[in-house]
Structure 1
Amino acid sequence: MIRLNWTDEQKNRIIELSKQGLSSPKVAQQMFDEYGINFSRRTVARFIATGHTSSHYKGKPKPKVKDVKRGTEIVINKDGSTTSSTTMQMTAEQAKDPEFVLRAHGFNPDDWDIVSARNNFWQQNSQENGLIDLYQSKITVKPKVDNDIKRAVEILTRDIKPLKVKHSLDSSRKRNLVIPITDNHWGITHLSDVQDKLSELLDIIKQGYGTIVIEMIGDMLHSDKINSTETVSGTVLEDVDMPKAIDEAMQFTEAIVVTALENANTVMIKSVGGNHDFDISYMFMIWIKERFKQAQVDVNNRYRTAYLLGHVLISIQHGNVNKKNPAQILANECRHLWGIATTTEIHSGHLHFDKTEDQNGVVFRQFSTPKPSDDWETMNGFVGSNKLMYALEYNDGRLKVEHFI
């Protein structure tokens, strides 16, 4: 039998593997995998227990107690979390290290976050390892969600080059133009579906205006996620190609904003999120703000916002919330603007069909969508609404022309 002279590196590695909770056979196998040397299981066990490799070493006899059999119980909870219970060998410092605990339970710290953890300590005599520290460890984990807005903003904006558009003032431009964009659901909608409508809208913009307001009223993107197709609340949708959807949404938006900057004294872009894309639309607005520095871009994570166009007060909201008394809420939240305005309008989408209603002097405009019917709409027979885009011309005090595109 070949006698091995272990190096300090190999001894330290054996100690390290043992502290990770590996049994002597598993340590021996791991050492063979790493060093290509057949380390005897018994010699490995002796070294872990006594610090010596020689069979002639006579240490204090250990009680003949077998190692604790360790297994792991995994429970998948209804809320999407996972609970793992196991017995493991670790130090007090390791028990405080979330990454160590996650790995010990078999979870990659890059993919999982600890929701709760409980580690109960006791000591056990082991035939192989002597007196060892054991923990009954129970953790609940959830898949890691990359919700670090600052980091996401840095990723989205680090390579964005602001677009410089030839922009000139023209005092002859008297009227204002509002372009409501709602429920495009890019991913279901493709550029080929709206190319003709986009061309007609650009022709309207080229007439020239004092102020052009582009209203992003939610559900511009079909999914709130990239690698799966889900709404912000987690409702699973039919699969769409989200990278392509985002690219086409960028092309569509850039065509409108560039033409607006070329043909208006002032360009404002207002936004609210939708029930499909509330989070990702916020990030999309960050891209718009960084890309079009010449426009006044309102980036927010609110469910509604309002602005004054001359003496016309316009509030935008997606339409899935604040359904009961939106006019009263607007009057309470925007008291100063309400007092200045001679006309008040609320713009929304969400329901995918066109509707205009005057309620005690507040005009509610619910806009349709140019998107083709998806499988869910086809199945339920929601296929009768007009597939429209809009452009609304205002003077200082009220709506003058409504373009149905």
Structure 2
Amino acid sequence: MGYTKWTDEHKNRVIELGKQGLSSRKISQKLFDEFGENFSRRTVSQYLSTGSTNGRVRTKYNQQPDNKVKDVKRGTEIVINKDGSTTSSTTMQMTSEQAKDPEFVLRAHGFNPDDWDIVSARNNFWQQNSIENGLIDLYQSKITVKPKVDNDIKRAVEVLIRDIKPLKVQHSINPSRKRNLVIPITDNHWGITHLSDVQGKLAELLDIIKQGYGTIVIEMIGDMLHSDKINSTETVSGTVLEDVDMPKAIDEAMQFTEAIVVTALQNANTVMIKSVGGNHDFDISYMFMIWIKERFKQAQVDVNNRYRTAYLLGHVLISIQHGNVNRKNPAQILANECRNLWGIATTTEIHSGHLHFDKTEDQNGVVFRQFSTPKPSDDWETMNGFVGANKLMYALEYNDDRLKVEHFI
């Protein structure tokens, strides 16, 4: 990779772009796109402020300027790592100043700085005699990069809020509705689960809702979506999963949720939607709840980024948590965090999921309800033989002070 001096065309273009209000970073990218030459952001910034370049810029590696270094052979090794990062190794000519410029190094390796972040970089320096240029400075450059997180979030938001309009549902108050209904939704893992898998269960749940209730609480207990990312399938902690179609998963999760919320608004005096994140979808579920809040203005929607939350339904205190954390003393933590509600309640329950099988246990008067999932077994569960649990959904009917009816769907 050789060097070339700034031309008047280069300088005029930098001045023109600077007058348009572009930053030195964007100007560097523009110059690379237009001329095929990698201009250091710092050099561009220096020229804008002083009118001097104080050095030269590199040409694109596949161009052949007159002063090319004939005895330097250059190749690039690309390795895609299991964690989703990419490692690039190559030999190049650059100045010590350019070696300190992350954007310059990214472009030199063929990565757009707008789309990639450097995780680590190592540039080893040595000098070599060139046939035409004598002693030249070379760098063995190795970088590991990852796609910018902001791009994943941006794409997720675009899917979640596209064409979003508040939905107006015909809603009326009926004093004769006495009982309350709680609908726990946990571990649907949309992407593994599809609408075709749960259509029968959804129809049965909607029939229960249509009986009419004073308050309907929809509990979103985590892992609604299988992946916390859009273009790769990973949990929030970065565990790589089998690939699923996340845009389709989000669409189906929206359809499923909308059917339940609309029917609830039509058949209850009050609709509350409570949520916590799961170990698969903690971040993206937060954005999904923002969509729910904007879509269903008539419901009382709790958007939070907590690991647990609690609410009072009559004199029944219910805490929801996904089940992957706070497993040692959840009742004691609930009593400490919600002392006022604890004192009012005559019945206390903790609702969770996570383990994908049904279990109910009474511990010193606190009822623990661990709910199963309607999702089909994925490849990991099948491989390990975790295929025996019932594939269930639930609807729980309460009066003012305790559970009266439990529907297994």
Instruction: Give the TM-score taking structure 2 as reference length.
Output: 0.75
> Is the 1:20–1:89 contact (alpha carbons within 8 Å) kept by the matching residues of 2?
no
> Is the 1:21–1:89 contact (alpha carbons within 8 Å) kept by the matching residues of 2?
no
In 2, the alpha carbon distance for the partners of 1:58 and 1:292 equals 55
Q: Which segment drifts farther, 84-93 or 237-246?
A: 84-93
Q: Secondary structure at the residue paired with 1:314? A: strand
In 1, the alpha carbon distance for the partners of 2:116 and 2:41 equals 34
Deviation at 1:201, TM superposition (A): 1.0
Q: Which segment drifts farther, 143-152 or 316-325?
A: 143-152
Match of 2:70 in 1: 66
Check 1:368–1:21 CA distance in 2 against 1; reply closer, same or farther (3 A cut).
Answer: closer
> Is the 1:224–1:279 contact (alpha carbons within 8 Å) kept by the matching residues of 2?
yes
Deviation at 1:317, TM superposition (A): 1.0
> Is the 2:40–2:104 contact (alpha carbons within 8 Å) kept by the matching residues of 1?
no
Check 1:185–1:86 CA distance in 2 against 1; reply closer, same or farther (3 A cut).
Answer: closer
Q: Which segment drifts farther, 377-386 or 55-64?
A: 55-64
> Is the 2:290–2:303 contact (alpha carbons within 8 Å) kept by the matching residues of 1?
yes
Q: Which segment drifts farther, 274-283 or 385-394?
A: 274-283
Deviation at 1:212, TM superposition (A): 0.5
Instruction: Give the TM-score taking structure 1 as reference length.
Output: 0.75
Greater radius of gyration (CA)? 1
In 1, the alpha carbon distance for the partners of 2:196 and 2:266 equals 24
Deviation at 1:304, TM superposition (A): 1.2
In 2, the alpha carbon distance for the partners of 1:213 and 1:172 equals 18
Match of 1:192 in 2: 196
2:383 corresponds to 1:383:
no
Deviation at 1:345, TM superposition (A): 0.3
Q: Secondary structure at the residue paired with 2:150? A: coil
Q: Secondary structure at the residue paired with 2:126? A: strand
Check 1:44–1:308 CA distance in 2 against 1; reply closer, same or farther (3 A cut).
Answer: closer
Check 1:142–1:295 CA distance in 2 against 1; reply closer, same or farther (3 A cut).
Answer: same
Deviation at 1:75, TM superposition (A): 8.1
> Is the 2:40–2:101 contact (alpha carbons within 8 Å) kept by the matching residues of 1?
no
Deviation at 1:94, TM superposition (A): 5.2
In 2, the alpha carbon distance for the partners of 1:235 and 1:58 equals 38
> Is the 1:346–1:362 contact (alpha carbons within 8 Å) kept by the matching residues of 2?
yes
> Is the 1:45–1:129 contact (alpha carbons within 8 Å) kept by the matching residues of 2?
no
In 2, the alpha carbon distance for the partners of 1:187 and 1:228 equals 12
Q: Which segment drifts farther, 254-263 or 218-227?
A: 218-227
Listed one character per residue, the Cα deviations across residues 323-378 of structure 1 (whole Å, up to 9, x for unaligned) are: 11111111122122112211110001111111110000100001111222233323
Q: Where does structure 1 lack aligned partners over 5 or more consecutive residues? A: none
Deviation at 1:229, TM superposition (A): 2.8
Deviation at 1:159, TM superposition (A): 2.3
Identical aligned residues as a percent? 90
Match of 1:351 in 2: 355
Deviation at 1:274, TM superposition (A): 1.6
2:228 corresponds to 1:224:
yes
> Is the 1:313–1:337 contact (alpha carbons within 8 Å) kept by the matching residues of 2?
yes
Listed one character per residue, the Cα deviations across residues 30-74 of structure 1 (whole Å, up to 9, x for unaligned) are: 999999999999999999999999999999999999988777787
In 2, the alpha carbon distance for the partners of 1:123 and 1:227 equals 42
Alignment length, in residue pairs?
Answer: 401
- RMSD after superposition: 8.2
> Is the 1:21–1:88 contact (alpha carbons within 8 Å) kept by the matching residues of 2?
no
In 1, the alpha carbon distance for the partners of 2:114 and 2:159 equals 18
Check 1:33–1:296 CA distance in 2 against 1; reply closer, same or farther (3 A cut).
Answer: closer
2:142 corresponds to 1:138:
yes
